[in-house]
Structure formats: structure tokens, C-alpha cells
Structure 1
Amino acid sequence: MDLSRFKKAPRNISLDDLIIFENENYVVINKPAFVPSLDERTPDKSVSILKIAREKYGDIQLCHRLDKETSGALVLAKNPAAYRNLAMQFEHREVQKEYHAVVNGVHDFDSISVFLPIAPLKDGTAVRIDKLKGKMAETIFFTVKSYSKHSLVRCIPITGRMHQIRVHLQCLKAPIVCDPTYGGDMIFLSQIKRKFNLKSETEELPLIKRVALHAHIIRFRDLDESVIEVTAPYAHDFEVLVNQLEKSK
């Protein structure tokens, strides 16, 4: 199924509506899905988080990135000192991040660590496990809740490689829902709801039309060493998906 027609950035995005934390050094937003972190080299020149943020704050900087389809907590630095402070924490793996994902299959992960090296494919659009040429990557997984055919999983990345969580879950035979790049199947209401009736000659659409991954929590130190911890509420589509799974237990 081609879902490209649904994968468009929301219109008229207001940064003020996305902010979930702000002080004199940092802004943390709840990034919507389908909005790139940085400007893309595409003909349509779609809006980016950095572009929107600079319209409000001037020379603000992104401290890290999220995949275009991933929603959740994204940190921007208001000044060079704040940017350097967080860059050093990322370099020393001191920033703590927690993602939530809905995956295919019923799994019971209890601090399962995947420690496998990752290398990008030649076209740069995806990655693979490569024990010879890959860079080491580690992710720890916990099952939050299991359903009849799916699981909600908490993902703790120790390193920060491209598509790390997605490919590591594939290695556990638990690919993320709606992630065909790494073997994840679509999820339909008819799969989980009893007595589901679809109108004749109607195409059933997936419950979520993107990779079901959300950056839920981020924790780091401010310039004065105080700890900043921010929780990004689930994006609407992710929340709807989890609620439907809860109803269908």
C-alpha cells in the first residue's frame, strides 16, 4: 500500500504550539511527524523545524535530530554556550533518551540489549547490521504492554546512530508497525477489533500511516548542572493507535 499521499507536513505549524519546555538556554518541542528537523533538498522545499524556530528565535541551533516520520522531544539551543554544553553530553553519551514504539508481534523484553554495529546503505536512506564496517550501536528494550498481536515497547538508545532503534528491533523480530524498510507490517483495525465491518468497495487504511515511533522523554544537564527532564505527550496518531490496542485487548 502506497501511503505517500498521507505523509505531508501539517499546514500552518506554529512553534508556540509545539513548545513543551523553555528556559534561557533551551527550547524543547514536541516535533510533529512528517516535519524534517533540517531543511531538505527537495523541490517542494517543505518546512523544517529549524526554519520555523529561526523565524522566532533568530540564530537558534538544533542539538540533535529526529527522523522525519518520528514524533516527540527535540531540543534546540538558544546560545552557543548551551549548544556546546549539550553537544559534549551527546559526545560522552550522557543524554538519556526514551522512545516508545508499537511493534509487530507479542514480546516480553525485560532489559534486552542489542549491541550490533550499523552501517549506512550506499544511497544513505537506510542502514544495515555490518559487523565488519559498521559503527557500534546499542539499544536496550523493555516491553511496556503486550496485546494480542502487537506490543508497546520502551526503547533506550545508548548510542545515537541513524535508524538504530528501527534496525535493532528488526533484529529482535519485532519490527516497528508501518516500517516496511525494516520489515514492519501495517496495522489495521480489522486485525484487532472483533466484528469489524468494512463498507463494500472501501479501502481500509492503516491505523497509523507512518513509522510508529515516538521520542517520549529526554534528560540532560543545563549549564548550571541542574537536570532538565522533559516528557513529550504522544502524538495524536500514536495515541489513537495505543488506545485502539487497549480497547481490543
Structure 2
Amino acid sequence: MRINDIIIKETPDFVVLNKPAGTLTIPDRHDNQLSSLQGMLKKHYGEIFTVHRLDKDTSGIILFAKNEVSHKYYSQLFETRNVEKYYLGLVNGQLTPATGSVEQAIMEHPVQKGKMVINSKGKASHTDYEVLESFGLYSLVKFHLHTGRTHQIRVHAKYLGHPIAVDELYGTEAPVFLSSIKKTYKLGKRTEEERPLLKRLGLHAWQLQFTDQQGEKHVIEAPLAKDIQAVVTQLRKNSGRSSELIL
């Protein structure tokens, strides 16, 4: 992966990337410096500052600051909730009602490390959602984050009874196969095993809205990742829909 291939927007103060799924935002405890976005950006620019993070298996939009002054500015923007954050997620089942809001506090699981749970003693958490397309088996949902808790969308989606697709922590780790969508699916003569359309968390950071240090408003989007798009395309085809949704 080349950094230049995933840059969406760059200014003297910040760089916005379209993070591939499976890539760390920052090095993990094994210190995988060069396999993290932060490490690759440091090699590319010499100096880089992390402002916010995405889970390893979440794809999509992420912003890094290029100097200390902008790091302080953008970190404060995120902390004071002056950045609008929108995600697209593929959830299991048909989510009803089609629009709603979840305000359930989240805290770390008392026993299972790395997992979060809803608990009144946790930190206030607020997610709005809107179903963009419903296919029965799955729904494509837009999430608006008002807070930025760990695994917030995943936990709130589980609370709604419709966890994010391929979420081993809060739903099921079972991949999405074409055979589960297309009733007439048949394995090719030379194909021994079906390959999944989606084998990672079906969550994509789609859009950031913010005002920069010069007072200019930015609305920046990361196109939906190809693996999630492939599932949506097949769901449309097999539900009689061919038109692509315009977000």
C-alpha cells in the first residue's frame, strides 16, 4: 500500500486518508510501526500527529495533523464535538423504525478485555441512525456519531438488536457469502470453495464535516469500501433493485 494512493485531501495543516480495513491507526503492543498508518505517514512526512482513531477492521475516513499547532486545534475540535462524523454500516436484519437515536452509556466490560457494554455507570454515548436501504437479510445504515466512545456504533447496533455484519465481538463472525444472498447461486466447476464477499467488520467511516484553522468549512467523504459495496450491489440485484443509492 502506498500512502499517495489513499490520500483523499491534503493541506499544509492536515492530511485525510481512506484507511483500508485491516490496517492499524497506530502501532499496537507488538510495535508494528511500519504496518500502521501513523508509522507509514511518519516515514512519508517525517512528522505526523494522530488526532483520532479507527478500529483495525473499520475502513474509511481518518484525519492526521501535520504540525503541533494543527494537532492541538483538531484534537480540540474532536474533543469538543465540533466535528460531524458519519459512518455507513451493514447491519444484520431489517432495522425498524427506519430512523432513530440511541443514548445509552457505554463502559468497558468488567471481565472481557477489549469489549464494551451498555451500563448506566458508563460514559454518555449518543448515536443517531437512518436506514438508507433495507434488503431483509441486511440493511445499509447511516450512523451519526455525537460522541466518540470505543466501539460505540457496534455496541449501539447490538442494543438495537441488529449488530453490524461480521462482528465477532457483538454479533456473529460469519462472513457474508453470495450464496446466502442469491438463491440460484451455484459453485463454479473449477471452484472448490466459495470465497466470501465480506469477511471483516461491515463498518465504514464515510464522512467528516469540520471548519479548519482558516475558517473554511470542509465536507470530506471516503467512498464506500469495495467489499461492502460488493455486498450492497448483490443485495440490490437480488432484490430487484439496480439503481445505485446517491448519498
What is the TM-score when the length of structure 1 is the normalising length?
A: 0.89
| C-alpha distance in 2 between matches for 1:102 and 1:118 | 21
Q: Which residue of 1 aligns with 2:245?
A: none
Q: Which residue of 1 aligns with 2:160?
A: 172
| C-alpha distance in 2 between matches for 1:178 and 1:202 | 23
- Are the structure 2 counterparts of residues 83 and 46 from structure 1 closer, same or farther at C-alpha, using a change threshold of 3 Å? closer
The question of 1:225 aligning with 2:215 is answered yes
Q: Which residue of 2 aligns with 1:189?
A: 178
Structure 1 residue matching 2:100: 3-state secondary structure? strand
| C-alpha distance in 1 between matches for 2:28 and 2:214 | 35
Aligned partner (choices 41, 50, 54) of residue 53 of structure 1: 41
- Are the structure 2 counterparts of residues 217 and 175 from structure 1 closer, same or farther at C-alpha, using a change threshold of 3 Å? same
Given residue 99 of structure 1, which amino acid in structure 2 is its aligned partner?
A: Y
CA contact (8 A) 1:108 1:146 kept: no
CA contact (8 A) 2:176 2:199 kept: no
CA contact (8 A) 1:25 1:79 kept: yes
Query: Deviation of residue 238 (structure 1)?
Result: 1.6
- Are the structure 2 counterparts of residues 46 and 226 from structure 1 closer, same or farther at C-alpha, using a change threshold of 3 Å? closer
Q: CA RMSD in A?
A: 1.8
Q: Which residue of 2 aligns with 1:20?
A: 8
Structure 1 residues 22-47: Cα deviation after superposition (integer angstroms, max 9, x where no partner): 11111000000100000112287660
The question of 1:31 aligning with 2:19 is answered yes
Q: Report how many aligned residue pairs link the two structures.
A: 236
Query: Deviation of residue 77 (structure 1)?
Result: 0.5
Q: Which residue of 1 aligns with 2:120?
A: 131
| C-alpha distance in 1 between matches for 2:150 and 2:82 | 18
Structure 1 residues 38-96: Cα deviation after superposition (integer angstroms, max 9, x where no partner): 01122876600000001111111121000000000000111111111111111111110
| C-alpha distance in 2 between matches for 1:109 and 1:73 | 28
What is the TM-score when the length of structure 2 is the normalising length?
A: 0.90
Q: Which residue of 2 aligns with 1:118?
A: 106
- Are the structure 2 counterparts of residues 109 and 62 from structure 1 closer, same or farther at C-alpha, using a change threshold of 3 Å? farther
Query: Deviation of residue 148 (structure 1)?
Result: 2.9
Structure 2 residue matching 1:99: 3-state secondary structure? strand
Aligned partner (choices 93, 98, 105) of residue 105 of structure 1: 93
Structure 1 residues 179-226: Cα deviation after superposition (integer angstroms, max 9, x where no partner): 121014532211110211236994434320100000000111110121
Q: Which residue of 2 aligns with 1:7?
A: none
Given residue 164 of structure 1, which amino acid in structure 2 is its aligned partner?
A: Q
- Are the structure 2 counterparts of residues 63 and 109 from structure 1 closer, same or farther at C-alpha, using a change threshold of 3 Å? farther
CA contact (8 A) 1:86 1:220 kept: no
Gaps of at least 5 residues in structure 1 are: 1-12
**Identity between Structure 1 and Structure 2 (%):** 36
Query: Deviation of residue 115 (structure 1)?
Result: 0.5
Moved more, 26-35 or 195-204: 195-204
Q: Which residue of 1 aligns with 2:67?
A: 79
Gaps of at least 5 residues in structure 2 are: 240-247
| C-alpha distance in 1 between matches for 2:88 and 2:49 | 25
Structure 1 residues 3-32: Cα deviation after superposition (integer angstroms, max 9, x where no partner): xxxxxxxxxx11000100011111000000
Given residue 64 of structure 2, which amino acid in structure 1 is its aligned partner?
A: L
CA contact (8 A) 2:26 2:39 kept: yes
| C-alpha distance in 2 between matches for 1:76 and 1:165 | 22
CA contact (8 A) 2:175 2:200 kept: no
